[in-house]
Amino acid sequence: MSHIESDGGYISHQGPRYPAPELLQGEQNESRAADWWTLGVLLFEMLTGLPPFYGDDVEQIRRNIQSRLLELPDSLPSSTRDMISKLLDPRPDRRLGGY
C-alpha cells in the first residue's frame, strides 16, 4: 500500500529510506538493532535538518550508508554526538539499544 505525499507523489511502505546497513546486506532477522538505527537517523535529521547519509537518489543513499563515515556537526553537544554515533553504529551488535 502507498501513501500520498503533500506534493502529490507516493511513498512506498516497503522499507525505510535510510535502512540499517545489515538490511542492505540482506540480513532480514528480527533484531531490534535496525529500529535503533532508524531512531538515530530520525534524531540526526531533526537536529541538523538533513539526513545523515544524504544522496541524490536511493542507490547513492545506500552506497553512502555502506561506505561513508558518519559526520556529526561540531555544533551538536558532545553528549548528543555520542548518542547519535552509537545509534548509527554500522555494527548491529555494537549499536546502542541493539544488543
Domains and CATH numbers, the chain: 31-99 (1.10.510.10)
Q: Residue 17: is its pLDDT beyond 90?
A: no
Cβ-contact 19, 34 below 8 angstroms: yes
2-11, 54-63, 86-95: least confident range: 2-11
Vertex 82 angle, CA 81 and 85, to 5° = 80
Cβ-contact 52, 16 below 8 angstroms: no
Tens of pLDDT, residue by residue over 46-64, are 999 999 999 999 999 999 9
pLDDT bin (cut points 50, 70, 90) of residue 25 is confident
Reported pTM: 0.78
Tens of pLDDT, residue by residue over 30-48, are 678 999 999 999 999 999 9
Spatial neighbors of 29 by CB under 8 A, at least 6 apart, are 22
